[in-house]
Amino acid sequence: MTDHDEHDDPREIPAKPAVLPTTLAARLAGYAWHRNLVGEAGAIVYRLHQPHRVDAPALYLKHGDGAAAIAIAEEFARLQWLAAQWPVPRVEHFEWSDRGAWLLTHALPGRTAYEWLADAPEHASGIVESLGRFLRRLHALPVETCPFNANHLLQLGHARQRLAAGLIDADDFDEARLGWTPRQVLEAIDTMLPFEEDAVVSHGDFSLDNILMRADGEVVGVIDVGRAGIADRYRDLAILANCLDEFDPALRDTFFSAYGLAAPDTRKVDFHLLLDECF
C-alpha cells in the first residue's frame, strides 16, 4: 500500500495531552504533544518533546485498544528481543490494562528516509544505496535465533481472516490495483502458490517512513517493528522498492544492486506487494 499521495502532506499536528494512566501521567508532565499522522495502523501515535529543554530526547507514545493493543504488545515483544540485534528505539515504558496498551519509546535521531528523499532529491542515489546496504545487514541476523514467525503461510491466514471480517481497505490499494476488490487480490495471490521462501529475519514494514537516517546518509535505525519475524527476504525488498516508485522507478535498480541482487525476482516482488495490500 502507498504511504503518501503528496510530498507535502502534513506528517504530524499539534495535539492535546492524552488521558494517561497514573503510571505515565507524572512521567510525561510538561511535554508538548504532536500527533503523528503517518502509518498509525489503528493505534494513536504521539511525538512528545520538552519545549524548554532542547537537550532532552524526544519520546514516542503509542496507544490503542482491541486489535491495536495486541499489535502494540507484539511490537513491544519484538523491541525487547531486537534491542541487542538491530538498531531500534529503546523502550521506556509498556503497560496493558482494560483501557488498552501503552508503549513509550525513545526517539531515534535523524530524519526518515522519506523526508531525506523528498528534501534532497539530488542525493537520491546515495540515500537509496545506503538503504540497500543497511537492509542486507539486517537480513544477516541468523534466523535460528529469532522466536517470531512471519512466513507467507501465516500472513495468508491472517489475510483471509481480514477478508472474511471486511477489514481489507480497497481504497488504500496501490495504483496498480485501483478498482480491484479484496477478493481479487487474494485470488491473484492464490495463482502464485506454492511459494518458496528464502528465509531471513524480516522487518515486515520496511518502508521509507520506518527508516531513520543521518545527514551524512548513514542509516541510524528502524522503527515500527511489530510485524518483524522470519519470512522471505523479498517481503522487505518489495515494500521498499514500491515506496521508491513514488520518487523515481529507476531507484529500484539502485536499491537492489546495493542490496546485492543483480537480477531481482520480480515474481516474488509482485507476490509480496499483493500480500501487503491485505494489511
pLDDT value of position 89: 98
Q: State residue 192 phi and psi, 5-degree precision.
A: -100, 5
Q: State residue 220 phi and psi, 5-degree precision.
A: -85, -40
Separation CA 101–CA 91 (nearest Å):
14
Residue with cell 520496511: 206
For CA atoms 240, 121, 35, 219, the dihedral sign is: positive
Dig out the grid coordinates for 207 from the structure. 518502508
Stretch 51-64: mean pLDDT, rounded? 89
Say if residue 34's pLDDT is above 70: yes
- Taking a C-beta distance cutoff of 8 angstroms, is the pair 50, 31 a contact? yes
Angle at 269 between CA 237 and CA 7, to 5 degrees: 65
User: Residue 241: what residue type?
Assistant: A
Separation CA 217–CA 134 (nearest Å):
11
Percentage of residues of the chain with pLDDT beyond 70: 96
Stretch 33-54: mean pLDDT, rounded? 86
pLDDT in tens, 93-125: 999 998 899 999 999 999 999 999 999 999 999
Separation CA 22–CA 254 (nearest Å):
49
Q: Which region among 6-15, 81-90, 136-145, 197-206 has the lowest average model confidence (pLDDT)?
A: 6-15
- Taking a C-beta distance cutoff of 8 angstroms, is the pair 132, 244 a contact? no
| Strands (E) located in the chain | 12-15, 32-36, 44-49, 59-64, 91-97, 100-106, 111-112, 199-202, 211-213, 219-222, 229-232
Separation CA 207–CA 6 (nearest Å):
16
Stretch 206-216: mean pLDDT, rounded? 96
Q: 32: exposed, middle or buried (C-beta count within 10 Å: 0-12, 13-18, 19+)?
A: middle
Say if residue 23's pLDDT is above 80: yes
- The DSSP-derived string for 57-96 is PPEEEEEE-THHHHHHHHHHHHHHHHTTTS--PPEEEEEE
pLDDT value of position 6: 44
pLDDT value of position 56: 81
Q: 62: exposed, middle or buried (C-beta count within 10 Å: 0-12, 13-18, 19+)?
A: buried
Stretch 243-266: mean pLDDT, rounded? 97
Say if residue 4's pLDDT is above 80: no
Partners of 102 in beta bridges: 63, 95
* Residue ranges of domains in the chain, CATH in brackets: 12-106 (3.30.200.20), 111-276 (3.90.1200.10)
Mean of the per-residue pLDDT values of the chain = 94
pLDDT in tens, 125-173: 999 999 999 999 999 999 999 999 999 999 999 999 999 999 999 999 9
- Taking a C-beta distance cutoff of 8 angstroms, is the pair 159, 275 a contact? yes
Which of 108, 104, 93, 115 lies closest to 221 in space, CA to CA?
108
Catalytic residues: 205
Say if residue 54's pLDDT is above 80: no
